[in-house]
Structure 1
Amino acid sequence: MTLNPLSTPLCVVQATISQHGERAQLVGLSMPSAPFGTLPWQLIGLANYIVGCQTSDTAPSPETFTAHMQARATSAIPSPATLYPYTPWHDGRVRLLLDVTLGPAKVLKWPQASLVIMEQESGSGSCDWVRLSRERTAERILTRTVWEIEAEAQLLAGRLREAPDPSTSSLLEVAQKAARWARESRKAARAALTISQAARARHALRMR
């Protein structure tokens, strides 16, 4: 997909990744915001990386993060794959920014994760807007992913009822499959969080 860096509205994923004993490194990747550079689809790609680190017991790294995103560039729902060496917070072309920090696992192989989401529409008109939100753990990122992809599936289902279309039907199937995966992943993350909280409570009782 050709990217015109001067005019194309962008979706950007920026990751600050810390590793044991090493200085944190920054990775920035971008893609056009249309048609799939939107929050529901891009949260799925990010969540997939986080879950992959947990299931493979692998700490996040700039190399694996970049490889994961670029490997998805030609998938049905692509992820950002073009290196983005700019500062997205001051770039008016950016319509969606996922600014994530990742670090080595602390809770049952789940990596440390925190996410700031910026959605904006900017231009010369009077209706410019910016919306910011934050999810502070891997479990919260997965919960947000469930909310967003389920809402996308409902939107597609409504569109399909109004105007039956094979491409919309196919996309709905992808969204429903992604929603099922996200719910199962969130369930696993919540179970790990419950186990960790119980272990801390037992430790606190023993220390009394």
Structure 2
Amino acid sequence: MGSAAETLCGQAFGAGQVEMLGIYLQRSWIILLISGLFLVPVYVFSAQILVLIGQDKTIASLAGKFTIWTIPLIFALCINVPAQKFLQAQSKVAAFTWIGFIGLVLHVFLLWIFIWLVGWGLPAAAVVVNLSAWFIAISQAVYVVYWCNDCWKGLSWLAFKDMWAFVKLSLGSAVMLCLEIWYLMSLTVLAGHFANAEVAVDSISI
């Protein structure tokens, strides 16, 4: 749903209405954070949902635990994606590229520590994903606030104006992207119905 920010920020920047970029960014944050709240129950009950559609109970249990542990990731992405579109509209690609690169290095380093050295396994993977995502989200937000003074004029009540039009534009993009992602994810779900489900799911996930 962050794609609406990409469209509107690009139009505003091209039209010279740079002050609107900050408004669109805030509006996107609000909508995505609220949308993220609706996803939380799906994450919480993901194990039960997987069992309900016929998945192996062992796989469903592990997937459910991992999904619950990655709930903070939802809200990190709600901050990250609109901020990225905000910067992209201004051609400040280098900023989020460097932030992403540092986040990648941090991610690999933390995985090495918590999985290989400490041996925490699956919980460590989830924690590291959350930490890396929040590092990127916070770094981008800080960059927006302190280094994008032309487009960011501070928090504004205008962010709550014309919310429904923004939501409608967001939904169109969201449906398109969801269909693309679900098409690939459905293969993993179908693999769970094979005789040796663990091997099948592992293979197709790779």
TM-score (norm 2): 0.28
Structure label with greater radius of gyration? 2
Higher strand share: 1
Higher relative contact order by CA 8 Å / sep ≥ 6: 1 or 2? Answer: 2
